[in-house]
């Protein structure tokens, strides 16, 4: 008689396999998609433990960030699943393991390092164009696939634009000390993108040297070296590599090299195919049912309720109450309307399709996508209808990807004029139209 084996299935969709690794709050398993046979990595987290440790916002942020950054050199988040007790991140499976494992065996050849560094900068450039700072770049968070392609992972400490304070800077001290920029260690405000560039400089040094530029058994001594930018180059570093690293590891963030300058550097450009290098994978369609955030409710049969206080806060530039509320709504472009939700959604679809955009509607949300791709990816806009009262709705627009200036022009010149007959008032307008 043939021996029966018990398969561990997740949502009847994935067959769970071996444990790939585990940390304090998560376990990562290899799994196979039952229909396609594709191998994936599934990170399982305990809801109770996440709530106990106060990590709900961090998990939400990681999901939001990974959905914004689709790039060949960034680990892809495929979907998010949830049960009553667990949250599951279904991610691209990267077979080659951590880049750190290679470095642990000794320094790498300069040509290989250059290829990895080019891919790293390409990925980080996309993140920064979306307003996202990674904040924990290190070889342990850089994975390699079977073709030696680099994949940036672990966005748990990344920062979104809404985390900036009024001074336009980040203030949370985080990251791995040996790779953290001096301005972050000083516990003052810092530019997350510039801090990432410092970390990239440390990574480049480590890959070429096989050890850290700033290291000491005493962590305070190491910090002093970081603050002063004190490090030495091994004799095998090429002159061009030393020149680039010297510009990356500049303690003054205002004088530190930018990504635009990095890509024009002679050492960096060697063997670089510019058209292929900057190609960004277009985002897939918006998440299906199984991809709702595990902290969100099921899709309603009517528009979500928009609190009257939130309405006052969002619609008035001179009377901002947003800081009084724990769940602050993400800034977007809004208008109020006395038309019904279905009528508003039909109007949005008509305008977008008339402009040649792809439109997808689900519930009371509309995704407007432009297929043409620029350096910062194709323009993707979401519009959502909220209910304030039976006779009053709020419509909020937000850009999920693409160039900010392109979005502003699209909205002001094309969308806003086309919506004139259904708008009661626009966000920030002092004079309210009378119905």
Catalytically annotated residues = 136
- The rounded distance, in Å, linking the Cα atoms of 361 and 42 is 29
Instruction: With beta carbons less than 8 A apart as the criterion, state whether 67 and 54 touch.
Output: no
* Binding positions for ATP: 43
For residue 208, give the nearest of 97, 119, 99 by alpha carbon: 99
Identify the H or E element spanning 343.
Answer: helix 341-354
Phi, psi angles (nearest 5°) of residue 102: -70, -45
CA atoms within 13 A on the CB side of 432: 10
What tokens were used for 361?
A: 């509607």
Size of the chain in residues: 435
* Binding positions: 43
Rg (CA), the chain: 24
- The rounded distance, in Å, linking the Cα atoms of 104 and 4 is 43
- The rounded distance, in Å, linking the Cα atoms of 187 and 182 is 9
For residue 171, give the nearest of 133, 199, 124 by alpha carbon: 133
- The rounded distance, in Å, linking the Cα atoms of 373 and 278 is 11
What tokens were used for 133?
A: 């700072």
For residue 158, give the nearest of 233, 67, 219 by alpha carbon: 67
For residue 241, give the nearest of 222, 269, 216 by alpha carbon: 269
Q: Which residue intervals of 229-340 are DSSP H helices?
A: 239-248, 259-262, 266-269, 274-277, 308-315
What tokens were used for 283?
A: 């985002």
- The rounded distance, in Å, linking the Cα atoms of 28 and 177 is 25
For residue 209, give the nearest of 176, 175, 239, 232 by alpha carbon: 232
- The rounded distance, in Å, linking the Cα atoms of 28 and 41 is 7
Residues β-bridged to residue 40:
31, 92
């Amino acid at each position: 008689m043939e021996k029966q084996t018990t398969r561990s299935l997740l949502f009847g969709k994935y067959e769970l396999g071996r444990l790939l690794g585990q940390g304090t709050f998560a376990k990562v398993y290899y799994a196979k998609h039952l229909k396609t046979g594709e191998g994936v990595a599934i990170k399982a987290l305990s809801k109770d433990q996440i709530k106990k440790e106060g990590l709900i916002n961090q998990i939400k942020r990681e999901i939001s960030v990974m959905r914004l950054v689709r790039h060949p050199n960034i680990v892809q988040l495929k979907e998010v699943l949830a049960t009553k007790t667990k949250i599951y991140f279904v991610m691209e499976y990267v077979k080659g393991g951590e880049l750190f494992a290679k470095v642990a065996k000794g320094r790498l050849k300069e040509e290989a390092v250059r290829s990895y560094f080019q891919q790293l900068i390409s990925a980080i450039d996309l993140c920064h164009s979306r307003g996202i700072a990674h904040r924990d770049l290190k070889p342990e968070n850089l994975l390699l696939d079977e073709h030696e392609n680099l994949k940036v992972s672990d966005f748990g400490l990344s920062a979104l634009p809404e985390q900036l304070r009024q001074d336009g800077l980040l203030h949370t001290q985080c990251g791995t000390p040996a790779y953290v920029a001096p301005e972050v260690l000083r516990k003052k405000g810092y530019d997350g993108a510039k801090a990432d560039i410092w970390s990239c400089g440390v990574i480049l040094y480590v890959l070429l040297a096989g050890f850290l530029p700033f290291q000491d058994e005493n962590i305070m001594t190491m910090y002093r070296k970081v603050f002063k930018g004190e490090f030495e180059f091994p004799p095998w570093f090429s002159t061009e590599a030393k020149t680039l690293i010297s510009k990356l590891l500049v303690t003054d963030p205002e004088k530190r090299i930018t990504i635009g300058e990095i890509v024009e550097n002679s050492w960096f450009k060697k063997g670089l195919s510019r058209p292929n290098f900057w190609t960004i994978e277009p985002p897939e369609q918006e998440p299906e049912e199984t991809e709702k955030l595990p902290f969100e409710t099921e899709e309603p049969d009517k528009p979500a309720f928009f609190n009257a206080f939130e309405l006052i806060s969002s619609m008035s530039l001179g009377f901002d109450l947003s800081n009084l509320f724990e769940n602050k709504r993400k800034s977007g472009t809004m208008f109020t309307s006395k038309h019904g939700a279905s009528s508003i959604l039909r109007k949005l679809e008509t305008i977008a399709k008339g402009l040649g955009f792809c439109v997808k509607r689900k519930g009371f949300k509309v995704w407007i996508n432009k297929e043409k791709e620029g350096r910062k990816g194709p323009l993707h806009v979401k519009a959502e209808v909220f209910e304030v009262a039976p006779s009053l709705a709020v419509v909020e627009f937000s850009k999920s990807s693409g160039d900010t200036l392109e979005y502003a022009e699209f909205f002001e010149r094309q969308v806003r004029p086309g919506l004139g007959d259904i708008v009661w008032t626009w966000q920030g307008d002092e004079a309210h139209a009378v119905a």
